[in-house]
Chains A and B, each alone.
Chain A
Amino acid sequence: MAVVKTAPPTDNPHQAKSMVSLDSVTMAFGAYVAVQDVNLKVSDGEFLAIVGPTGCGKSTILNAIAGLLKPASGTVSIDGQPVRGIQNDIGYLFQQDALLPWKTAIENVELGPMFKGVGAAERREQSMRWLAKVGLKGFEHRYPHQLSGGQRKRVQMAQALITGPKVILMDEPFSALDIHTRHLMQNELLRLWQEERRAVVMITHDLEEAIALGDRVVVLAAGPRSRVIDSFPVDLERPRDVAEIKLDPRFMDLYRNIWSSLRGEVEKSYERHD
């Protein structure tokens, strides 16, 4: 069983309270055990990045936090409340397109407030503000197919964040974008998050992205029976610029350290899959 290193010292007021916690969570599909005995704590306002080789069950962990999947054993809790069923006080940024294709950008952003019973005029006004915030002023009445991949991602961000979720979950949100759009979106995300810090759990296979965005990087072992093998605090000051921070020598040190831990798992995962 893996022991997670303690969170960085609590001099940062945002990290006082634990927002998400997984206690010896095991996720299984029939006889296949995807992840075993995972312990994780994410503080309020902390940006946690989880890296691991392909097929190590990273997404399963997110789905357990979201309440989309039920753990075979162990407990997941958000803000002290155990997760039972789908959670509505989280924002989930999916890897794939998750917008309703038959609704315009603004109608998509309005969904969350609408389901929560916010009045028509108020939610329209909120959605206008959020679309402007993600740089889509003037695109309110476009349908998803009339937007570019990056623009659709922006709409999804606005859609996920408008409800003011306690926790933001991200499943390789930018992996389908080209490298320039990706940098742009990463900076955009950091800017939005900086305005109102929330607990973030981000899954990625891109180690650079994990270090550039995260407060802490957790490494998962190769699956099946994946578990947490390491946890690295990222002590780079914010605000960060995603493209420039990669040239910082401390970034490279971190990269080297984390990669030496991750490399073995990636190799194992290739041996099993090829």
Chain B
Amino acid sequence: MNAMTERFIQVVLLVVIVGGWQLGVTAGVIDVFFFPAPVDIFNQVISWVADASFYSHVAITLTETVLGYLVGTALGVAAGVWLGLSRSAARILDPFIKGLNAIPRVVLAPIFVLWLGLGLWSKVALAVTLVFFVTFFNAMQGVREVNPVVLSNARILGARRSDLLRHVYFPAAASWILSSLRTSVGFAVVGAIIGEYLGSSAGLGYLIAQAEGNFDAVGVFAGILILAIFVLIIDSVLDLAEKRLIKWRPSASERPA
């Protein structure tokens, strides 16, 4: 099947689903209290997008996501490389890490609000707790799976411990972290949105929570739609970043000769 036909089928599917939904609403089969008309949702999205104050919400969510990702990754890499290198520290801390990772992060949101207030940082903290573990486990794995021959070679070439960290261990960990870039950024978004949803005065999660408080299903659905678009845009940016950052790795199409 060629790409054109596939695109065509995708458009048809979209039209059938959204159109069917709209028809159901006009015919009175679907209750607009629970499933508002797509036209209304679309109009709500348009009115938000046309409003300048909407972008401050987007900016806040984006800031929380980026900060949460960066802080979480930095901590995760540092801890992962350390525990990857020190087996005994890893064994001692193992039960604590497992225990912390077992906590559903949502329950931490109220605590972070208590500690850090309703502003930006309580959301960043929530995102950090989600991102940290993904990068932590990946960095640890990356360090442990460094090829021993490569390591011996570097040491014979005169690498000191700091050289090994910089030229061998961190790049090895980084390649694993990059391969989990999507997952961890996804978690950062989730952390930011949940934090906003549970208690805040700005952001996309706040928009949804506010609409929900007013029993405004149109607002909730419009918020969800905006969120989906937000994540898709971030995803395509990551796609580009990934291709640039791991150009040293063979892609499926260009295997070594």
- List chain A positions with a Cβ less than 8 A from chain B: 66, 68, 86-88, 90-92, 94, 96-104, 111-112, 115-116, 143-148, 159, 163
Contact = CB atoms under 8 A, between A and B. Distances in A.
A90 B168 CA distance: 20
Contacts of A92: 152-153, 156
Contacts of B155: 68, 86
B94 to A, nearest CB: 27
A86 to B, nearest CB: 5
B105 interface: no
A90 B156 contact: yes
A contact patch SS = loop
B256 interface: yes
Contact of A111 (B154, B172, B248, B249): B154
B87 interface: no
Nearest to A92: B156
B104 interface: no
Nearest to B146: A100
Given A87-B156, A111-B159, A143 B257 contact: no
A174 to B, nearest CB: 16
B158 A94 contact: no
Name the residue in A92, A102, A104, A163 with the highest tally of chain B Cβ atoms < 10 Å from its Cβ.
A102
Contacts of B247: 143
Interface string B201-223: 00000000000000000000000
7 contacts: A66-B156, A92-B153, A96-B147, A100-B168, A111-B159, A115-B160, A163-B157
Nearest to B247: A143
Contact of A112 (B157, B171, B257): B157
Interface in B240-257: 247-250, 254, 256-257
Given A68-B152, A148-B256, A148-B257, A103 B157 contact: no
B175 interface: yes
A87 B149 CA distance: 15
Contacts, number: 75
A98 B150 CA distance: 4
A123 to B, nearest CB: 12
B164 to A, nearest CB: 10
A77 B147 CA distance: 28
Given A99-B153, A112-B157, A144-B248, 17 more contacts: A68-B152, A86-B155, A88-B157, A90-B156, A92-B152, A96-B147, A97-B150, A101-B248, A102-B175, A111-B157, A111-B167, A115-B157, A115-B158, A115-B163, A116-B158, A146-B256, A163-B157
Interface in B148-184: 149-150, 152-160, 163, 167-168, 171-172, 175
A143 to B, nearest CB: 4
Q: What's the interface size class on B, roughly? A: 20 to 34
A52 B172 CA distance: 36
A91 B248 CA distance: 25
Contacts of A103: 167, 248
A87 B159 CA distance: 11
Closest 3 CB pairs of A and B: A115-B158, A98-B153, A145-B250
A112 to B, nearest CB: 4
Nearest to A86: B155
Contacts of B149: 94, 96-98
Contacts of B158: 88, 112, 115-116, 163
B178 to A, nearest CB: 11
Contacts of B175: 102
Nearest to B246: A102
A98 B172 CA distance: 14
A138 B174 CA distance: 28
Nearest to A162: B157
Contacts of B256: 145-148
B253 to A, nearest CB: 12
Contacts of B147: 96, 98
Given A145-B256, A148-B257, A102 B156 contact: no
